Amino acid sequence: MNPPILPRSVVVALALLAPRAPGASAQDPGPTQAPGRIEGVVFDSTAAAPLADAAVFLWGTSHRAVSDEEGRYVLADVPPGTYTLLFYHARLGELGISAGPRPVSVRASEITDVDLAIPSWFTVVISQCLLEERPAGTGALAGWVGDGDSGMGMPGARVSLAWPVAGSREPVRRELETDAMGWYRTCDVPSDTPIVASARFLNLQGLRREVSVPEGGSGQAGFLLWEVEPAKVSGAVHDAFSGLGVEGAEVWLRGTSIRALTGRDGSFRFGDVPPGTYTLLAEHLRYGTRQDTLIAPSGKTLVVDMRVDTRAIELDPLTVSVESVPLTERSMGGFTVTREQIDRIETRVRDTGELIQSLNLPGVIVRRRGDGSLCVGYGPGQARMMSFGSCVSMEVYINGVHATSADMALHIPPEAVDRIVLFRPVEAGGLFPINAANGVLVIYTRR
C-alpha cells in the first residue's frame, strides 16, 4: 500500500505539532551520581505494528540505539539530566513527515520509559487542515472507508454528511469522495452539532452514525462497507400517564428527510431506512420535543414505543424490540471468561475493563482514555481505524440487552460479573447484524 504524497507545506505543518529547537542540557552528574537508562518501544501507527530498525538518539550526545524486531530500544549509561529524544526511520521519509523531538529527564540509577511512534494515518490526513483558514464555529472531520470483506481501502467511495439547520426542515448535505487509500477529510463542518455520516460504494454501504467535532478541533468517522438491506421502523407515541396514543406528533430521524405524523392511535412507520445509528425525535405542541437513540438493523423491522409526558419527571422514553434471533440463542461461539477465572484476579482489578485487560486475551485491546473512559476493541479493527489515544469500541451487551453506554458497562465492578463472552468480528458478523464489524462483548452479571 503506497502512502499518500504530501506537499512540503503539510510536512512543515506536522513538524509544527512538535516542540521547537531540539537541544540537550545534560547536567554534570558529579562523582556520586550513577547513570540512568532510557528504554521504550517504537510503534508505526500507520501499520499498527512495532517498528524495527528505527534509529533512536539523544540530540547533542553520542547516545544512540536501534530498535529490534519488537520495536524495543535501550539507551544505557545516560548521565542524569534533561535531554531531547528523537528517532528516524525510512518510513518517515516515505510518508514525508517528522515525528518531532521528545523532551526527557533522566534520574540517577532509574529507568525512564519513553515510547515513540509514527503518527497515525488519521493524524497525517487531518493535519492538512492546519494549512487551511477555517471559519469560527467549525471543526475538521476525517475517516477511512474500507471493504468489510477484504479490509482494503475503498478509493472513490462516496461519503455523505448531513446536519440540521435551525428553521429548516431539510438538513444541509455535503458529499465527499475517498482518495486512493480510502481516506476522506473536510475541514469546516459545524462544531458541536450532530452530523449524520454514511458511506457507500456501488451496492456496498456503511452503517450510518452520528458524530460531532469541537470548535477548532477534529473528529473521526470510519466505515466498513457491506451489502446491507434497508430497515423498517414502526412504532407509536404514547402518553406516559394515560397510555393513550398521541395523535399529530411529528416524528423524524435527525439528519435525514425521513419524517411522519402519528395517526389517531399514535402510530407511525418509516420504510427503507438505511441501517445504522440514529437519533429519533418526536415533537408535539402539548408534549414538547422528546428524543432517544435507536439502531436500525440491516433487513430487519425495528419496533419503537416512545413515551411522552407533560410532567417534569425523568422517563425511559424509548422501548425497542427487534425481529431477530434472541441473544440467548446466539451463545454458540466466542471466547468465554468464566467466574472461576474472574475469582483469581478479582482483587487486583477495579472494573470490567481492567479485568479484560489483565486476561491478555489474543487480539483484544483495552484503552483508558485521558478522561477516564474505557474502550475495548478487537486488534484487526484497530489497525485500520485507531489513532493516538482513541479506540474503536466493540458493541457491548449486558444480560442480552444492548448497552447504551459501552463505557458505563466497562466500569461494572468485577464482583458483579458472572461471565464475559467476546465475539471476534468474523463470529459477530453472523450473530449480531448491528455494528458487529469491530466485535461484540457480552457481559452477564450475577443475579
The string of pLDDT tens digits covering residues 208-218 is 888 888 888 88
Report the pLDDT value the prediction gives residue 32, as an integer from 0 to 100. Answer: 61
**Across 279-285, average pLDDT:** 85
Report the pLDDT value the prediction gives residue 9, as an integer from 0 to 100. Answer: 46
- Count CA within 13 A, CB hemisphere, residue 344: 7
For residue 33, give Cα distances in angstroms to 25, 57, 74, 103, 111.
16, 22, 20, 21, 14
Give percent above pLDDT 90 in the chain. 19
Same domain, 239 and 210: no
| pTM for the model | 0.51
The burial of 279, by beta-carbon neighbours within 10 Å (0-12 exposed, 13-18 middle, 19 or more buried), is given as: middle
Beta bridge partners of 232: 301
Last residue of a domain, one of 225, 241, 275: 225
Domain with 387 in it: what CATH number? Answer: 2.170.130.10
Query: Is 127 within the bounds of a domain?
Result: no
Rg (alpha carbons) of the chain, rounded to whole number: 25
Same domain, 309 and 205: no
Q: How many residues make up the chain in this entry?
A: 447
Per the structure, how many domains does the chain have?
4
- Categorize the per-residue pLDDT at 120 as very low, low, confident or very high, splitting at 50, 70 and 90: confident
Which residue do the cell numbers 451496492 mark? 203
Distance CA(169)–CA(167), nearest Å, equals 7
- Which grid coordinates belong to 424? 471476534
Give the residue from 255, 254, 252 showing the smallest Cα distance to 304: 252
**Across 282-289, average pLDDT:** 83
Q: What is the pLDDT of residues 140-171, one digit of tens each?
A: 999 889 888 788 888 999 999 998 887 777 88
Domain with 291 in it: what CATH number? Answer: 2.60.40.1120
Per-residue DSSP letter, 363:
T
Last residue of a domain, one of 209, 225, 241: 225
Residue 87 φ/ψ, nearest 5 degrees: -145, 155
Same domain, 243 and 187: no
pLDDT higher for 199 or 207? 199
Same domain, 348 and 389: yes
Report the pLDDT value the prediction gives residue 371, as an integer from 0 to 100. Answer: 63
Distance CA(94)–CA(296), nearest Å, equals 42
Distance CA(178)–CA(187), nearest Å, equals 14
**Across 319-348, average pLDDT:** 66
Report the pLDDT value the prediction gives residue 203, as an integer from 0 to 100. Answer: 82
Burial pattern 45-81, b for ≥16 Cβ within 10 A else e, equals bbebebbeebebbbeeeebebebeeebebebeebbbb
Same domain, 289 and 369: no
- Categorize the per-residue pLDDT at 36 as very low, low, confident or very high, splitting at 50, 70 and 90: very high
Query: Is 128 within the bounds of a domain?
Result: no
- Which grid coordinates belong to 202? 456501488
**Across 167-186, average pLDDT:** 88
For residue 177, give Cα distances in angstroms to 7, 13, 61.
20, 24, 47
* pLDDT greater than 60 at residue 205: yes
Give 290-350 as a DSSP string.
Answer: EEEEEEE-TT-EEEEEEEE-SSS-----EEEEESS--GGGG-SSSEEEPHHHHHHHGGG-S
For residue 258, give Cα distances in angstroms to 170, 228, 254, 266, 435.
10, 19, 8, 17, 21
- Categorize the per-residue pLDDT at 435 as very low, low, confident or very high, splitting at 50, 70 and 90: low
**Across 43-64, average pLDDT:** 90
Residue 164 φ/ψ, nearest 5 degrees: -75, 155
Distance CA(434)–CA(296), nearest Å, equals 8
Give the residue from 278, 75, 294, 68 showing the smallest Cα distance to 171: 278
The distance in angstroms from the start CA to the end CA of the chain is 50
Last residue of a domain, one of 164, 195, 225: 225
**Across 238-249, average pLDDT:** 86
Give 228-270 as a DSSP string.
Answer: ---EEEEEEEEETTT--B-TT-EEEETTSS-EEE--TTSEEEE
- Categorize the per-residue pLDDT at 178 as very low, low, confident or very high, splitting at 50, 70 and 90: very high
- Categorize the per-residue pLDDT at 18 as very low, low, confident or very high, splitting at 50, 70 and 90: very low
Query: Is 249 within the bounds of a domain?
Result: yes
Same domain, 316 and 343: no
**Of 134-143, 153-162, 321-330, 380-389, where does mean pLDDT reach its minimum?**
380-389
The domain of 364 spans 329-445
- Categorize the per-residue pLDDT at 330 as very low, low, confident or very high, splitting at 50, 70 and 90: very low
Query: Is 319 within the bounds of a domain?
Result: yes
Asked if 99 contacts 14 with a C-beta cutoff of 8 angstroms, the reply is no
* pLDDT greater than 60 at residue 328: no
Same domain, 219 and 314: no
Query: Is 317 within the bounds of a domain?
Result: yes
- Which grid coordinates belong to 368? 483508558
Same domain, 216 and 294: no
Distance CA(301)–CA(269), nearest Å, equals 10
Same domain, 333 and 276: no
Query: Is 204 within the bounds of a domain?
Result: yes
**CA dihedral sign, ordered 145, 366, 192, 290:** positive
Same domain, 250 and 304: yes
Same domain, 241 and 172: no
Beta bridge partners of 397: 402, 442
Distance CA(210)–CA(101), nearest Å, equals 36
Residue 354 φ/ψ, nearest 5 degrees: -65, -35
Query: Is 413 within the bounds of a domain?
Result: yes
Same domain, 334 and 436: yes
Query: Is 111 within the bounds of a domain?
Result: yes
